[in-house]
A and B are shown apart, each in its own frame.
Chain A
Amino acid sequence: MLKNVTRLFTMLSLWVSAVVFASPLGAFATEAAAASPTASADAHVWWFWPLVLLVFCFVLGVIAVLAGVGGGVLYVPLVSGFFPFHIDFVRGAGLMVALAGALAAGPGLLKRNLASLRLALPMALIASACAVVGAMLGLYLSKLDPRYVQTALGATIMGISILLLCSKNSEYPVVTKQDAISHALGIEGLYQDQATGKEFEWKTHRTFTGLLLFVVIGIMAGMFGLGAGWANIPVLNLLMGAPLKVSVATSKFLLSITDTSAAWVYMNQGAVIPLIAIPSIIGLMLGSLVGVRLLAVAKASFIRYMVIGVLFFAGFKALDKGLGLGILG
């Protein structure tokens, strides 16, 4: 039964990627319609796009879990490319999607003591303050010309896809000497692997560089409405030396703080439309629940490579659109 469901979702995933790869003309037709003065004459009933969005986000939620990426990073480039919504509202909804996901996952990670509050709090302060700046900067640039944001988003998404392709996590990084900042903040702990029962003492190093990188992460999260798990994990794990599972859990918890600050800016500026945001949140959350159940039997590595391909394409499309190159149109 579960295998049949898995097959169905693999087919759905393939279908979504086929649509994404094979329909640039359709997507551009949508964009052209959206950009044209006659866009207000949308012939669809009002619930058409919210319903399509709900189904799309459900599939996206399944795929995101199977591919091991956050929903937000897939949501913004794909929805901004293939739905008739202005990128301002897609970014606002993207932040709410990432925030809702992080809030739902955070308590479990904290209860199981997987997320480290001590590691998260200093990073979150930097990232959330910078996310506010990023959100304001993104809305300002979008007001000047949405192509600025589109171009930067495209370049960022292409960079993320390359990062996902190349990055290799380290389960238990070796940290020979804790740096002064980490020592002063007491960023250390004992990690017990539940599978083996072994305990690993961990501490971090290169904390200052990590904090500096969270400036960039915060700005990008706020500017593009992306969840920042794709950047948090490599910084916490590869740079600062936190164990992989601690990094993943702390990153998810961090998102609940970083995205909160940026989400408030978008909400206060009127860039969150419930008709777009709520079906997206519900679809992605339901999809994530199904994805978690399918994780055990799905060919996750294949889906991961497929998602990286889709991300690269979506990024290139945004870049093409932002720069007005017309390669895909």
Chain B
Amino acid sequence: MTKQKNVCVTPPEQMRYAIILERGAYLGILIMLITYAIYAFGILTPHVPIEVVTHSWHLGVHDYLEATNSPTGWDWVALVGTGDFINFIGLALLAVMTIICYATLILPYYRCGDYIYLSIVIAEIAVLTLAASGILGSGGH
């Protein structure tokens, strides 16, 4: 095991990060399995019929989006009641977990005055939030 020296983030904070990450990751995977079953068994009608997806997945992403009338960015939220876009709940949860876990590090670093790592954590949250926002490269089709 690694024992940190001169580290303000003590094992409890690292443990908290690990526990939140673990719960979120397993919840995301569980949701993904359930929603995929809903999709595959046709319990909810998909926005894009599965056959259209299989006939279009050889196209590049821009052509695919046009052929299937699929949304970009966070527009999938409006279609979350459909069989295909319900799958994005689990996928998005997996992708958002790191941001949530990073947020738990802010207070410990602030409390012990480790402003370098506090800055790193805040900058990382900003990068991940920017990537998640859909602002970058949006309007691609």
Contact = CB atoms under 8 A, between A and B. Distances in A.
Contacts of A40: 55-56
Given A110-B14, A125-B123, A260 B98 contact: yes
Interface in A99-151: 99-100, 103-104, 106-108, 110-118, 121-122, 124-125, 128-129, 132, 136, 139-140, 142-143, 146
Given A107-B19, A129-B127, A278 B87 contact: yes
A113 B73 contact: no
Interface string B72-113: 111000000000100110011011011100000000000000
Nearest to A33: B58
A40 B53 CA distance: 10
- How many chain B residues sit at the interface, stated as a range, is 35 or more
Interface stretch (A62-70, A84-92, A231-239): A84-92
Given A110-B14, A128-B128, A186-B6, A85 B58 contact: yes
Contacts of A136: 136-137
A285 B9 CA distance: 31
Contacts of B24: 103
A12 to B, nearest CB: 24
Contacts of B132: 264, 268
Contacts of B25: 100, 103-104, 106-107
Contacts of B58: 34-35, 39, 84-86
B95 A264 contact: yes
Contacts of B136: 132, 136, 265, 268
Interface in B101-141: 116-117, 120-121, 123-124, 127-128, 130-134, 136-138, 140-141
Nearest to B32: A278
A179 to B, nearest CB: 15
B53 A273 contact: yes
A121 B120 contact: yes
B33 interface: yes
Given A257-B98, A275-B53, A86 B138 contact: no
A9 interface: no
A281 B70 contact: no
Chain B facing A: main interface SS: helix
Contacts of A85: 57-58
B141 A270 contact: yes
Contacts of B51: 46
A277 interface: yes
Nearest to A35: B58
Given A46-B51, A86-B57, A275-B50, A125 B2 contact: no
Nearest to A272: B91
Given A40-B56, A49-B54, A270-B70, A100 B5 contact: no
Contacts of B121: 121
A103 B17 CA distance: 12
Nearest to B13: A117
B134 A113 contact: no
Interface in B1-47: 1-7, 9, 11, 14-15, 17-19, 21-22, 24-26, 28-29, 32-33, 35-36, 39-40
22 contacts: A86-B60, A107-B25, A110-B15, A113-B2, A114-B1, A117-B9, A122-B120, A128-B131, A186-B6, A192-B1, A246-B2, A260-B97, A260-B98, A264-B132, A267-B92, A268-B133, A268-B137, A269-B137, A270-B70, A274-B88, A275-B53, A282-B33
Interface of A: 34-35, 39-42, 44, 46-47, 49, 84-86, 88-89, 96, 99-100, 103-104, 106-108, 110-118, 121-122, 124-125, 128-129, 132, 136, 139-140, 142-143, 146, 184-186, 188-192, 194, 246, 256-257, 260-265, 267-279, 281-282, 285
Q: Can you list the 4 inter-chain pairs with the closest CB atoms, starting with the nearest?
A: A107-B22, A274-B87, A110-B18, A34-B58
